[in-house]
Every structure is written in C-alpha cells, then in structure tokens.
C-alpha cells in the first residue's frame, strides 16, 4: 500500500518508492505535518509534534493545555489565519460575522486508488488506478462551517507527491475565501538554501540561490500569468547539498496565473513553505453549496542533489503531465517564418522557404504573426482572425496545399487572448477587453488583453480559430500571449466579485485552449508568451512543448535552458537555430538540440557550407530524438557557476548510450580542462562515434574527457556520442 492509516496512533503514512510523508491527527483534531523525507516505516513520531510552545507569548489551546501545545509553534499541516498560528497563513476565510479567523480541524478521511482530475484546471494524471493512491482529509472550521479537503496523491512509479485543496461551503451563509494555498509544508529547521527562477523577456529562468533567513522570503507573480519575472517553481536545498548529493525538496505549481511561493523562518528556527494562488488581488465568493478547487503542487524529495530532483521532475512530467498524441509520437522538425520575414511575407515567399526547407530535410513550415486582418506591424488586427488576402491571395488554402504538396506540414500563429484597439473586433465589441470602468486602460505592445473570463468572448474566439483549423488542414498552432494584465476587470463581474477576475481569466484560458486541443487532437500546439513568459506545468498539460525564449543567441540560451531544466524536461523546451552571428551554425545546433529543435531563419540565405551543416543537424535530430526526449539529463558544468563554459549530457534510461555537449562561452587562456561524465555503467564499454575509440564507463566518469582545445576558442562547441558495446 502506498498510503496507510494507523488508527491507534492516528498517523497517515504516504509512501513512494523512495520517500515518506507522515501526517498525524493530534489532540482536538489538529492536523500536523510530522515528516517528509527519505522512506521510513516507523510509527512513533511523537517527538515531532510540539516545539517550544511558550516562546514569544505563543497562545495555547485551552483544551489541550498551556504547557504542551501551541498552534503558533506546532507543525500545522495546513496553517490557518487568526487562531493562534502567527506564521504565514495558507488559508483564510471571512465568515458571516465579518472576521477572518479560521481554524480547521480533522473530521474524516478517505483513501482510494488512482487520482481524480480537477474541474476546470489542468493537472497531472494516471493512465490506470494502479499507478497512484490518493488520500483525502476533510477538515472543518466549527464557527464558519467552511470545509477544506486536503488532497494528497502519491505515485507508484515516481518519488512524487501532489497536494491540492478543495474548499466547500455546506452552510446557508455566503463565505469569502481570502487565501487558499495549495500546499503548506513545515520543516523543523531552516538549514536550507531557497532556489528560484527569476528573469525578464529574453532572459528567462535564471537560477538564484540564497540561504533562508528569519522572516518571510519568496517569489510571486501578480502579472496575470506565471510570467517571465518569476516561475512557479521553488526548491529548498539543505546547506551543503550539491548537484549530485544532499537533501532537496522541489515544488512546482500547476497553474498559469498569479502565484506565490513563500518561506517563513520563525523564532524557533523552523520553516514554513507555502505555494499556491497569489492572495494579492484575490477573493472568491463561495455561496451556499458551492466548492472552490485550488490547483495542485507537484512535490519532489531526493537526497541525491539538485540534478536528481530535476530528473525526477522530467520523468514524471513526461509520464504524468504531458498528454495527447504528441506525448509519444515524434514531433516534426520545423522552420518558423518570424525571424526570417517578420510581417513581410506573401504566399510566394513562404513557398520559396518551403522549397529550400524540403531540400534540407526540414519537416514543417510555420507561418508566424502577420497573416490576418490588416496586420503589417504589431499595431492592429489582433482578434480579426480572417486571412489577409493581399498577402495570401485566395486565402490559406493555396499556401497550405502548396506546402503539403512539397511534403511538408504546415503551422500557423495565434494570439487568442489579445485584441488590438485598431481592429474590427474591438470596434464591434469595445467592452470585450480587460478594463476598469472610468479608467483609461494601459496599452502594452499596442494591444489590450481580451476578457476570456467571459463565455461569450471564448465562444467567439473558438469559432474563429476552429473555422480556420477545420478548413485548412493545419498541423501545428503556436499559441502566443504578448503582454501582462493591467487594469484587471471584467464588464460582467459585479463589484463584490471583482477580485475573482484573475482566477476567472486563467480558467477561461484553460477552457478555450482545452476545447481547441480536444477538438483537434492531431494538431501540435506549442505554447508561447513573448518567449517563455508562461512556461509552467499547467501549460504543459495543454501544449506538449513551449517556446523557451525569444532569445535564440546560443550563448545566452545556455543559462535560459539550464535554468528551465531545473524542473522542465527537454521534450518541453522549444529551441531553434537562428541567424544570430555570435557563433557558427554548429554551436547553434548543438545548443538547440537540447530541446524540441527547429529553425528561425531565411533558408534561402544559407551558404552551401551552412546548408551542409544543417543537413547534418537534421540527421542528428533524428538519430538522437528518443535519447533527448526520454533520456536522463546530467548538468556537468553550469553557466551559473562557470563563466567560461557549460556542459551537459543526456543518458539513455538503460545507460546504453549518451550524448555529451560542451560549449565555450568565452575562451580561457590557460589551463587544462577535463570533464567527467555521469550516469553511465562503470562496467560497460562505450564506443565514441566521433573518435572511434572505446572507453569504459568507469574511465569516462572517473578520469574524464580532455576538452582543453575546445575551451580555448570563443563560441566553439563539442558533441560526442557514446554507445555501449
């Protein structure tokens, strides 16, 4: 059994292959989080229940007694507001009396096989009930009557647990949710570094590590999306932990809207970590009989360092998050028109791209922004999803048929959640954009955000997109989102529900995108948000790959892809070769090969020498496709720690082959450089395709490879493929 309940000791044990999570029911129904870490089977955790109960005038429960227990210091499993627990709250409800004191106590529980989906919100899944077990714990506040069901799922094939919360109102009164975080974890020490991913447009997901300090720290987004600025990922690394060893707890929120990931260290030196919907600009009116479903958090623990945490996330997301036809079916190698033509294209130019692309072995042509309305720059026509026949005479059909006739697939760009002030749609429906009455709305990138919290707006956009996809044999859709949300408001929400907007907006996005994905299962959808501004697990439930960044410079891409890889698999990372002249095409291809791979350039302008490099890259893409998509990633040299070079390695799950890549960011004049590989079988022999030599796994991992010549040249790269004999 993955989940057991000891009724005598009132303990829940949640086991994966390598981890254990223990919850206890303490006196008077308090739920305590007693242990999370490497697998144990012991059933005495009494020493974990209480911590210095009278420190700093902490209040005591009057029934339990002043000297034995305080909610301010106990490891409360789901910390609530105002009832004696002064640490950061995961949950707060304002009741009929107007106060927001909340005190959840245990009422009942259920254990069952499998995992249920979350209504309206993407989540991880199982293909068969035998793959997971779920525990639901019902807790209730005796005064307001609000009920919270804490939902935990553990997986048979992964050291992974998911957490989420369902809030119900069984009373006749209206309740108001002020905070409803999805996960709350208490740790008995603060001996951790907090690892997060910050950035901006074109510099996404830069790894940052800082030691926890007393007080509150963390990251969040209030931009309406998960954002370029911060990612809904955080890890707690035990002091001294490394890439290859030590305790690491990883948390990733399956949500695309405003989020918070916060850690608070108290006077006891203990740590509370919470993750979920950002309570800023959030409130939810919960009427009698209604329920609210919070998104889930994916929780990973390992004692084998940051690298193993990443590999656990990667395997788990490839098995239990990404779905649909392209979870397993090979994805086409594409060329995108954006950096080749921007808005300046027509049917003849795109077909000319297709002619050269076909000759090079590329499999799909994607027509990016500019094909609709009067879209000749970024100042108009978003929302007018009607073909511009001045560019594309006769509509899409001649172009699509022409591309297909050349043996290529065809893809198209959309930005469904946006509307231009200069558009027929805006002139017909000026109340359809996100705005607050009486305020002049801010404009970003010459556009407004379309109010997809409204069903009528979603229905209209769905019909426009579905008509194009149904009538033109489209193989791929790039789904973009090029600004954040300001002036957050909807014309249809009454004043008392205005703070529901941000969550309703993202639910609307999931509904619109989900309907299209379901209606067109053979179309490959790729997410995008000005590059990587909405790179989160919820998007991966709907789009199996996401454009990692608009920055295609291969040297800049190293930190972006290293940071992204902390929790997101290579199969999800859109990575292309562009015409950027900072390095040669070999290095561009070696860096892009880490991800889904493709091109962003005018193929007609390639020299014959560069065309031959592209042909070799296309062959390598097919040769290494399965290894990169399903293999284990080992980060060998991090650009966050080494300013001269970066190196990584993909290893087949059965350790039968590996692909090693090294890139020199800037030359190092002096010194030798040896790189030790990882993840191989020390007792097997591995043949190197490039030098014809054979090495033992032990030699490659302990003696290493001499890469001294490569590191002395700026922008150079080296790839070596080894296969077991």
Catalytic positions, please? 480, 550
Beta bridge partners of 11: 6, 24
Nearest-10 crossing angle of helices 608-630, 347-360: 70
**CB environment 304-332: b (16+ within 10 A), e (fewer):** bbbbbbbbbbbbbbbbbbbbbebeeeebb
CA distances in angstroms from 397 to 391, 469, 471, listed in the order given: 13, 11, 8
Distance CA 389, CA 393 (A): 4
CA distances from 710 to 230, 397, 645, 648, 674 (A): 34, 49, 10, 15, 11
The answer to whether 718 and 637 are in contact (CB under 8 A) is: no
For 165, 584, 713, the CA distances from 667, given in Å and listed in that order, are: 51, 15, 5
Q: Which two tokens stand for residue 621?
A: 């893409």
Among 536, 532, 544, which Cα is nearest to 571's?
544
For residues 524 and 410, give the distance between their C-alpha atoms in angstroms, rounded to a whole number. 10
3-state secondary structure of 212: coil
User: What's the alpha-carbon Rg for the chain, to the nearest Å?
Assistant: 27
Tokens of 709: 């010549």
d(CA 107, CA 140): 7
Q: Which residues pair with 6 in a beta bridge?
A: 11
Per the listing, tokens 């790959």 go with: 545
Interatomic CA distance for residues 615 and 360, integer angstroms: 6
Which among 87, 75, 92 has a CA at the least distance from the CA of 32?
75
Instruction: Return d(Cα 404, Cα 351) in angstroms, integer.
Output: 10
Question: For the chain, what's the residue count?
Answer: 725
Query: DSSP letter at 105?
Result: E
362 contacts: CB under 8 Å, gap ≥ 6: 333, 334, 335, 408, 598, 599, 603, 618
- Give CA–CA dist 275/289, Å, rounded: 26
Burial of 589 (0-12, 13-18, 19+ CB in 10 A): buried
- Rounded to a whole number of angstroms, the distance between the first and last alpha carbons of the chain is 40
Contact 51, 70 (CB under 8 A): no
Q: Which residues contact 385 (CB under 8 A, 6 or more apart)?
A: 372, 373, 414, 461, 464, 465, 468
Q: How many helices (H) and strands (E) does the chain have?
A: 12, 39
For residue 125, CA distances in Å to 232, 270, 313 come to 19, 33, 14
Contact, 189 vs 254, CB < 8 A? no
Q: Which two tokens stand for residue 605?
A: 């302008």
Which ranges of 321-479 would DSSP assign to H, the alpha helix?
Answer: 338-341, 347-360, 396-405, 424-428, 455-472
Report CA-CA distances (Å) from 108 to 10, 93, 105, 514.
12, 21, 10, 34
Q: Distance (Å, rounded) from C-alpha 558 to C-alpha 712? A: 18
Helix, strand or coil for residue 587? helix
């Amino acid at each position: 059994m993955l989940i057991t309940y000891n009724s005598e000791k009132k303990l829940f044990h949640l086991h994966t292959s390598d981890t254990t999570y223990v919850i206890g029911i303490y006196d008077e129904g308090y739920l305590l989080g007693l242990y999370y870490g490497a697998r144990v089977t012991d059933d005495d955790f009494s020493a974990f229940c209480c911590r210095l109960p009278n420190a700093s005038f902490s209040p005591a429960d009057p029934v339990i007694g002043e000297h034995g227990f305080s909610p301010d210091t106990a490891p409360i499993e789901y910390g609530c507001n105002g009832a004696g627990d002064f640490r950061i709250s995961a949950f707060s409800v304002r009741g009929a009396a107007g106060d927001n004191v909340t005190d959840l106590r245990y009422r009942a529980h259920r254990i069952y096989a499998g995992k249920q989906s979350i209504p309206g919100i993407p989540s991880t899944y199982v293909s068969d009930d035998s793959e997971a077990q779920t525990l639901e714990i019902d807790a209730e506040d005796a005064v307001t009557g609000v009920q919270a069901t804490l939902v935990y799922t553990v997986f048979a094939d992964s050291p992974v647990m998911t957490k989420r919360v369902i809030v119900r109102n069984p009373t006749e009164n209206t309740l108001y949710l002020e905070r409803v975080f999805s996960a709350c974890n208490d740790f008995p020490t603060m001996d951790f570094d907090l690892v997060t991913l910050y950035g901006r447009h074109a510099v996404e997901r830069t790894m940052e590590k800082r030691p926890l300090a007393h007080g509150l720290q963390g990251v969040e987004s209030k931009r309406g999306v998960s954002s370029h600025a911060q990612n809904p990922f955080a890890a707690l690394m035990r002091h001294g932990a490394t890439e290859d060893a030590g305790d690491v707890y990883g948390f990733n929120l399956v949500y695309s809207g405003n989020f918070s990931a916060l850690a608070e260290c108290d006077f006891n030196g203990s740590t509370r970590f919470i993750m979920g919907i950002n309570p800023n600009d959030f409130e939810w009116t919960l009427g009698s009989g209604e329920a609210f479903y919070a998104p889930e958090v994916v929780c990973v623990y390992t004692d084998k360092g940051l690298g193993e945490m990443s590999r656990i996330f990667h395997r788990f997301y490839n098995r239990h998050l990404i779905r649909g036809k392209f979870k397993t079916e090979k994805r086409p190698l594409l060329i995108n028109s954006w950096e080749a033509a921007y808005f300046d294209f027509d049917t003849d130019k795109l077909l000319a791209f297709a002619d050269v692309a076909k000759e090079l072995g590329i499999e799909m042509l994607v027509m990016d922004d500019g094909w609709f309305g009067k879209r000749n720059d970024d100042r108009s026509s978003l929302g007018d999803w009607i073909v511009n026949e001045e560019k594309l005479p006769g509509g899409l059909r001649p172009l699509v048929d022409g591309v297909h006739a050349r043996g290529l697939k065809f893809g198209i760009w959309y930005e469904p959640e946006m509307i231009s002030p200069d558009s027929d749609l805006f002139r017909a429906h000026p109340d359809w954009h996100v705005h607050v009455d009486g305020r002049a709305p801010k404009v970003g990138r010459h556009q407004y955000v379309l109010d997809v919290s409204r069903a009528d707006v979603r229905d209209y956009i769905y019909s426009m997109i579905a008509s194009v996809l149904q009538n033109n044999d489209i193989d791929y859709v790039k789904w973009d989102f090029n600004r954040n949300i300001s002036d957050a408001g909807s014309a249809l929400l009454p004043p008392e529900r205005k703070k529901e907007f941000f969550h309703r907006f993202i639910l609307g996005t999931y509904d619109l995108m989900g309907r299209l994905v379901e209606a067109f299962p053979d179309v490959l959808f790729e997410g995008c948000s000005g590059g990587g501004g909405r790179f989160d697990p919820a998007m991966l439930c709907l789009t199996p790959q996401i454009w990692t960044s608009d920055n295609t410079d291969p040297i800049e891409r190293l930190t972006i892809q290293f940071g992204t890889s902390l929790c997101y698999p290579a199969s999800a990372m859109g990575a292309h070769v562009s015409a950027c002249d900072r390095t040669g095409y070999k290095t561009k291809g070696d860096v892009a090969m880490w991800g889904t791979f493709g091109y962003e350039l005018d193929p007609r302008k390639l020299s014959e020498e560069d065309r031959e490099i592209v042909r070799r890259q296309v062959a390598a893409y097919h040769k290494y496709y399965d290894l990169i998509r399903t293999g284990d990633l080992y980060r060998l040299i991090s650009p966050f720690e080494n300013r001269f070079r970066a190196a990584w390695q993909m290893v087949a799950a059965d350790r039968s082959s590996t692909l090693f890549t090294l890139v020199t960011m800037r030359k190092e004049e002096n010194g030798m450089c040896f790189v030790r590989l990882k993840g191989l079988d020390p007792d097997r022999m591995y043949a190197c395709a490039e030098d014809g030599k054979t090495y033992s796994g032990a030699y490659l991992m302990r003696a290493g490879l001499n890469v001294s010549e490569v590191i002395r040249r700026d922008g150079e790269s080296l790839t070596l493929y080894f296969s077991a004999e």
